[in-house]
Amino acid sequence: MHAPKAQNVVLMPRGDSSPIADFLRYHVLVRVFDGDADRWLDDLTQRAAPEFESDIRFARWIRTRLRRDPALIERIRRAVERTPILNDER
């Protein structure tokens, strides 16, 4: 069973990645899942909804990159910290 869709939420684009969607995905990876791509992927696959397909592809891609280059997460964290969204006080 899926949670009802919020009326004020716009889904990220499905299909090919977009710079805006990827920007937001990096923020989700760092701010929601503390850089843990495995945990994010587990969360996404539990939802098993078609609208998360592109997020799942991104999470798998970034997980592979992080396994090859563990220092990448610190570069991603620094980039996310330099680009706050709205009134993000972190």
90 with 78: CB under 8 angstroms? no
Residue 28 backbone zone (phi > 0: left; psi -120 to 50: alpha; other: beta): alpha
- For the cut 90, the answer to whether the pLDDT of residue 3 exceeds it is no
- For the chain, domain boundaries: 35-82
**What does the pLDDT look like over 21-72, one tens digit per residue?**
899 999 999 999 999 999 999 999 998 788 888 899 999 999 999 999 999 9
Full-prediction pTM beyond 0.85? Answer: no
The confidence score (pLDDT) of residue 90 equals: 53
| Confidence tier at 5 by pLDDT (50, 70, 90) | low
